[in-house]
Structure 1
Amino acid sequence: MNTLLTGGNGFLGTWLARALAARGDTVACLLRPSSDASGLAGISYSRVEGDVTDTASLERAVPGRDVVFHLAGIRRAATRDEFMRVNAEGTRNVCEALLRAGGKARLVLCGSLAASGPSSAGHPHVEEDPFHPAEWYGESKAEAERIVLAYADRLPVTVIRPPRILGPGDHENLTFFKLIKKGIRLEIGGGPRPLTLVDVEDVVDLLLVLAERPEALGQSFFCGGPQDFTMEQLQDIGARELGVHPRTVKLSPWMLKGLAAAADMVTQATGRKLPLNRKLARQLLAPAWTCSGAKAERLLGFRPKRDLEDSIRRSARWYREQGWL
C-alpha cells in the first residue's frame, strides 16, 4: 500500500508510520521544512515538503497514493480563524488535491471526540449524535469532518474520532504525570467525571482497518473501549508506577477557574505557556468526555484490545526514561 501521512511527525503519526513501515507499506510524510522529524528516526519513510494549507505541495504529494491518512492539524491557536484555516480548510485542500489526482485514493481523516463536545455521565456519545463542540478546536474538527463527508460521493472517505489518547510520546497528558512526579494529585470537586481513554496502538489498528474495509466508506467511527476512567484514576495509576505517594490537593470548580484565569494572564504578559489554562479548566470541569465504540465493533469487528492501566504505566515509564519527568 502506497501511503501519504499528513502530520506524520506527530504523536499519532509516528506510531502509524512505524506500523505501516513494519508491514512493508510505502510511507511518505508531508512535513513543513521546519518540522521536527526526530520521532520518525529509524522508520523507513520518504519526506515530502509541504503543508495542508499549501495547495501546490499537496498537488506534488498526493498522486500515486493508495491511501492518504490526514492527521495534520493544530491544537492551539490565538483565533478561531486560524483553527478553521488549518484544520478545516486544510482538509478541504486535501480533498480537492485527491480529486484532481483522479479521486481513487482513500482518505482517512483523523477527527476528534472534541467535535462532539462533552457528554453526560452514563450517556457516551455515539456517532449519530449532533456535533456540540465546546471550543474552537472542536468546532474546526467538526467542520473538517463535515467537509470530508461532503466529498463521499466523489471520493472514498472515512473518519476516525479518537477520544483522549495515551501512550509513549504523548504530550497532552504529560501535565498530570509531571504534577504526580512533584508529589501533587489533583482532585476537582463535583466529580467523578468519566473519560474515555484509548491506547495509541489501538487507534493505529483502527486507522489500518479504515484504510482497507469497504464497510468503512462514508462513515465515522469512535475509537473507544468498554471501560471509562477519571483523571484521578489516571493520576493514581501513574503514581504507583512512578513510586510516588502524592498529597491530594482538592480544588473546587471556582478555584480551578480562578487559577486558570491567572495562568492565562501570566501567559499573555510573559509569553510563557503554562500547563494550566482556561481551555484545560473547561475540559476538566465538563461532566464527562465519553464515547461508545459499539459502531466500530458492529460494522468492522473492531474493539480496542490494550489494557488501559498498562497504557498509563507504559506512558509513565517512557516519560521517566526520556527525562520528561
Structure 2
Amino acid sequence: MKEKVLITGANGFIGSHLTEACLQKGFEVHAAVRKNSSMELFRSLVTPADSLKIVYPVYADREELADLFKRERYTYIVHNAGITKTRQQETYNHINAELTKNLGAAVVNAGIDLRRFVLISSLAALGPVSYAGQGDRPRPVTGYGRSKLLAETYLRAIKGLPVTVIRPTAVYGPGEKDLLIVFRLLAGGWDLSMGRKPQKLSFVYVQDLVSAILLAMKEQPGNWASFDISDGAMYERYALSDAFVRSSRVKTRRLHVPTQLVKALALLNEGLSSVSGRYPALNGDKVKELTAENWYCDITPARIGLGYDPQFSLDKGMDETVRWYRAHKWL
C-alpha cells in the first residue's frame, strides 16, 4: 500500500512542485486546496496521476479535520498553505497560525499514526541580522514573519505531535509570481535597486526546497526539529538581477531608487488598496524585507540532520527559471 501524504496549499507555487515530486516518489497524494481557488499553475506543473486526489479541508473546524484524518489515515502532512500579503496582523495570525494550530490539534485528536507533520515556515519568522551577522533571533520584522513564528510556537506546544519545521529563504523557480515582477522589469531593460547600502542575501531554487521537504518527512529524533533552507551561498545585493541578466541575455540599465521614495510609494499603494480591495505586492512590510541588511541562512544543521545537499546554484536555478517563464510566455 502506498504511503499517503496530505499537502495543504497544493495549488500554489511551492505546493505544486511538491505535489509533482511526491507523485514521482510513489506517494498517494491528497492535494488540499480552497474551493474556487485557481488551479492554473497546478495544472501546468503537475502531471495527473491515479494516486492524486483533490480535497477541501475546512481548517477552522477541528472536528471535521479529525474526521478527515481518521478516514484517510495520512502517513505525512505537509502544511504549506498560508497567506503572504494582508493589511491586518490579526488576519496573518488567524490564517497562518490559528489554523495551523487547528491542524496539529486535529491530528492528535484523531489518534492517527502520523510519522511527521512538516510545517513550511519562513526565514521571515527569524528575521534578518545586521550586515556583520550580529543580532538576536528570532526577531521578525514583518507581520507575515510574526505569524509564522506564532505558528511554530503553537505547534511546539502540542504534545505528541511529531513536527519538523522548514524555514526557506527567498524561493524562486518556475511558477513563482512575486519575483516575476522584478524579472519583467529586468526583461524590459530596467534594473531598479532600492538604495545603495550593501546587503547580504540568500536564495533557494524551488527544487532544492522540495528536496529538503521530502527529507523532512522522515522521522526525526524526538517530536521537534527545525531547519533553515537556502542554496548554501551568501550573495551581494545585485546577485539576483545579475543572474537573470546572464540567463536571459538582456541589456539593462541599473537605477538606484531612494529608499524613502519607495517607502512613500508603498504607503500610497496600501492606501489605494482600501479602495481596490487587493493588498499590493509593494507594501510597508515588503520594503522592510527588501532593505534588510542581512538574510543570513545557516544550512549546516540541515546538511547534518537531514542530509540536505542543494544542487542548484543561483545561475543554474535561474537558467531553469527563465527557460520555464519563456516557454509559458510569462516573459
TM over 0.5: yes
Aligned residue runs from structure 1 range 26-41, under 5 A: 26-41=28-43
Q: 1-side partners of 2:276 and 2:303: how far apart? A: 48
1:53 matched to 2:60: yes
In structure 1, the partner of 2:169 is 163
Q: Is the 8 A contact 1:180 1:246 kept in 2?
A: yes
Q: Is the 8 A contact 1:33 1:50 kept in 2?
A: no
Q: Secondary structure at the match of 1:68?
A: strand
1:188 matched to 2:194: yes
1:282 matched to 2:288: yes
Of 36, 48, 56, the match for 1:43: 48
Judged with a 3 Å threshold, the aligned counterparts in structure 2 of structure 1 residues 130 and 103 are, in CA distance, closer, same or farther, namely: farther
Q: 2-side partners of 1:267 and 1:242: how far apart? A: 33
In structure 2, the partner of 1:150 is 157
1:110 matched to 2:115: no
1:62 matched to 2:64: no
Q: Identity across aligned pairs (percent)?
A: 31
Q: Deviations over 1:120-156 (max 9, x none)?
A: 224289xxx63211111111100001111112x4121
Q: 2-side partners of 1:38 and 1:27: how far apart? A: 18
Q: 2-side partners of 1:4 and 1:186: how far apart? A: 40
- Ranges of 4+ aligned residues in structure 1 off by more than 6 Å: none
Give 1:274 shift. 4.9
Q: Is the 8 A contact 1:2 1:25 kept in 2?
A: yes
Judged with a 3 Å threshold, the aligned counterparts in structure 2 of structure 1 residues 273 and 138 are, in CA distance, closer, same or farther, namely: closer
Judged with a 3 Å threshold, the aligned counterparts in structure 2 of structure 1 residues 306 and 241 are, in CA distance, closer, same or farther, namely: closer
Judged with a 3 Å threshold, the aligned counterparts in structure 2 of structure 1 residues 266 and 240 are, in CA distance, closer, same or farther, namely: farther
- The residue identity in structure 2 corresponding to 1:102 is G
Q: Secondary structure at the match of 2:310?
A: coil
Aligned residue runs from structure 1 range 66-77, under 5 A: 66-77=75-86
Q: 2-side partners of 1:317 and 1:116: how far apart? A: 33
Q: Secondary structure at the match of 1:76?
A: coil
1:138 matched to 2:145: yes
* Structure 2, unpaired ranges of 5+: none
Provide the aligned length of Structure 1 versus Structure 2. Answer: 321
Judged with a 3 Å threshold, the aligned counterparts in structure 2 of structure 1 residues 287 and 277 are, in CA distance, closer, same or farther, namely: same
1:11 matched to 2:18: no
Q: Secondary structure at the match of 1:3?
A: strand
Q: Is the 8 A contact 1:225 1:292 kept in 2?
A: no
Q: Is the 8 A contact 1:185 1:232 kept in 2?
A: no
- The residue identity in structure 2 corresponding to 1:197 is F
Q: 2-side partners of 1:32 and 1:263: how far apart? A: 27
Judged with a 3 Å threshold, the aligned counterparts in structure 2 of structure 1 residues 88 and 200 are, in CA distance, closer, same or farther, namely: same
Q: 1-side partners of 2:120 and 2:313: how far apart? A: 22
Judged with a 3 Å threshold, the aligned counterparts in structure 2 of structure 1 residues 195 and 53 are, in CA distance, closer, same or farther, namely: farther
Q: 1-side partners of 2:78 and 2:94: how far apart? A: 19
Q: Is the 8 A contact 2:143 2:285 kept in 1?
A: no
Q: Is the 8 A contact 1:108 1:210 kept in 2?
A: yes
Give 1:321 shift. 2.2
Q: 1-side partners of 2:287 and 2:163: how far apart? A: 34
Q: 1-side partners of 2:156 and 2:13: how far apart? A: 25
Q: Deviations over 1:263-304 (max 9, x none)?
A: 333434445665433222221111122210011112233232
CA RMSD of aligned residues (A): 2.1
In structure 2, the partner of 1:302 is 308
Judged with a 3 Å threshold, the aligned counterparts in structure 2 of structure 1 residues 174 and 231 are, in CA distance, closer, same or farther, namely: farther
My pick for the range that moved more, 164-173 or 234-243, is 234-243
Of 19, 22, 26, the match for 1:20: 22
Give 1:222 shift. 0.5
Q: 2-side partners of 1:38 and 1:187: how far apart? A: 31
Of 93, 98, 116, the match for 2:102: 93
The TM-score with structure 1 as length reference comes to: 0.91
Judged with a 3 Å threshold, the aligned counterparts in structure 2 of structure 1 residues 300 and 50 are, in CA distance, closer, same or farther, namely: closer
Q: Deviations over 1:1-34 (max 9, x none)?
A: 2111111111111111111111111100122211
Q: 1-side partners of 2:42 and 2:308: how far apart? A: 27
Q: 1-side partners of 2:64 and 2:300: how far apart? A: 38
Q: 2-side partners of 1:225 and 1:121: how far apart? A: 19
Q: 2-side partners of 1:182 and 1:275: how far apart? A: 19
Q: 2-side partners of 1:222 and 1:12: how far apart? A: 16
Q: Is the 8 A contact 2:190 2:253 kept in 1?
A: yes
